Amino acid sequence: MREVKQRVTVPDNGEIVVTLPPDLPRGEVEVTVVAAEEAGARAVVDLNRRLDELIASLPPAPSVPLSALDRGEIYR
């Protein structure tokens, strides 16, 4: 089995063109596409941004002072 690696940039339309070397045997081949780590990092940044927006849209958490709690309830 022979492996050929090429770096390409995937445009917005998602289409890529790969020209194989002339000495590569003709016939059926298996093509594997491995996205660069940048794509994963961008997805994490986007997810974090959306989570921050969600958190900002939530009402504030209620606050109860300790003096308002009946501590006897804890030990019953």
pLDDT digits (tens, 9 = 90+) for 22-70: 888 888 888 888 877 666 777 788 889 999 999 999 888 888 888 877 7
CA-to-CA distance for 26 and 56, rounded, in angstroms?
57
> Does any domain span residue 68?
no
Q: What is the pLDDT, as a whole number, of residue 16?
A: 87
CA-to-CA distance for 67 and 53, rounded, in angstroms?
34
Kindly tell me if the per-residue pLDDT of 75 is higher than 80. Answer: no
CA distances from 61 to 1, 17, 57, 74 (A): 60, 53, 12, 22
> Does any domain span residue 38?
yes
CA-to-CA distance for 23 and 21, rounded, in angstroms?
6
Structure token pair of residue 58: 């939530």
Q: Can you give the pTM of this predicted structure? A: 0.39
> Does any domain span residue 45?
yes
Kindly tell me if the per-residue pLDDT of 73 is higher than 70. Answer: no
How many domains in the chain? 1
Q: What is the pLDDT, as a whole number, of residue 76?
A: 64
Domain around 36: 32-56
Instruction: Please name the residues in contact with 44: beta carbons below 8 A apart, sequence gap of 6 or more.
Output: none
